[in-house]
Amino acid sequence: MEKKIIITIDGWSSCGKSTLAKQLARELGYVYIDSGAMYRAITLYFLRNHIDWTQHKAVEDALRKILLEFHSNHKTGQSEIYLNGENVEYVIRDLVIAEKVSEVAAIKEVRQFAVKQQQGMGKKKGIVMDGRDIGTVVFPDAELKIFMTADNAIRVERRFRELYDKNPNVTIEEVKANLEMRDYIDSHREISPLRQAEDAILLDNSKLTMREQLDLALGWVKERLSAAR
């Protein structure tokens, strides 16, 4: 049987992790899991149901009512997230969610809930997962770990374009402030802060095209696959 590996992609907000992860999954026939979407969907549930997430009991009770699933979109072939049966892939990208998600993702019970499910999804390998703690906490034994970064101005510009397409009222200042805030909270939180795993390869894509970064990553996959045989 063909050997499969686990690929983890961590890094700062909006440096193209999901673009690379999706491309790799497509090229390799692997499953792609966007772990950030899980934290976003949990945040959406908390906001919609007015959950006071500063209270442990309220968080625990709410988590018991949350079912997260990924299903492939038949038209695009992309995996999309469902919250209690509802496709929330698009609503969770809103700035309203982005403003609160780092706070929610810093809660111990929320992380335990998400990490347990993420580890279950990697049991059969053949998976590409992106996030902040995938190479350090979720899959510390992954065969290939990539840590992505890009110049701040480039990240702000990329994120702005993405959000502007959906909401022309968004300003570049808002996007910049949100990215800075999320990076700060994500890298300074007590539990599983964003950091590069010691054995992760650093990929700065500020000056790379999508094709170039994919070719680089595919080269690393090839190496790791032959080492794993």
Nearest CB to ligand DC, comparing residues 74 and 123: 123
Q: Are 193 and 181 in contact (CB under 8 A)?
A: no
Nearest CB to ligand DC, comparing residues 54 and 226: 54
CB of 43 to ligand DC, least distance (A): 8
Nearest CB to ligand DC, comparing residues 145 and 182: 182
CB of 78 to ligand DC, least distance (A): 15
CB of 163 to ligand DC, least distance (A): 12
Spatial distance between the Cα atoms of 111 and 164, rounded to a whole number of angstroms: 30
Ordered alpha helix ranges (H), 75-166: 95-105, 108-121, 152-166
How many alpha carbons lie under 13 Å from residue 20 in its C-beta half-sphere?
31
Q: Which of 101, 107, 197, 200 binds ligand DC (CB under 6 A)?
A: 101
Nearest CB to ligand DC, comparing residues 132 and 145: 132
Q: Which of 35, 79, 178, 205 binds ligand DC (CB under 6 A)?
A: 35
Binding track over 175-204 against ligand DC, x by CB under 6 A:
-------x---x------------------
Q: Are 211 and 219 in contact (CB under 8 A)?
A: no
159 binds ligand DC (CB under 6 A): no
Q: Are 29 and 171 in contact (CB under 8 A)?
A: no
Spatial distance between the Cα atoms of 149 and 207, rounded to a whole number of angstroms: 11
CB of 55 to ligand DC, least distance (A): 20
Q: Which of 20, 133, 160, 179 binds ligand DC (CB under 6 A)?
A: 133
Strand locations in the chain (E): 6-11, 31-34, 68-72, 79-83, 86-87, 127-131, 144-149, 201-204
Q: Which of 30, 39, 113, 147 binds ligand DC (CB under 6 A)?
A: 39
By CB under 6 A, the residues from 41 to 100 that bind ligand DC are none
CB of 177 to ligand DC, least distance (A): 14
Spatial distance between the Cα atoms of 7 and 119, rounded to a whole number of angstroms: 13
11 binds ligand DC (CB under 6 A): no
Which token pair is 180? 């800075």
Q: Classify burial at 222, counting beta carbons within 10 Å of its beta carbon; exposed 0-12, middle 13-18, buried 19 or more.
A: exposed
Which token pair is 110? 């929320």
Chain residues that interact with ligand DC, rule: CB under 6 A = 13, 35-36, 39-40, 101-102, 105, 131-134, 182, 186
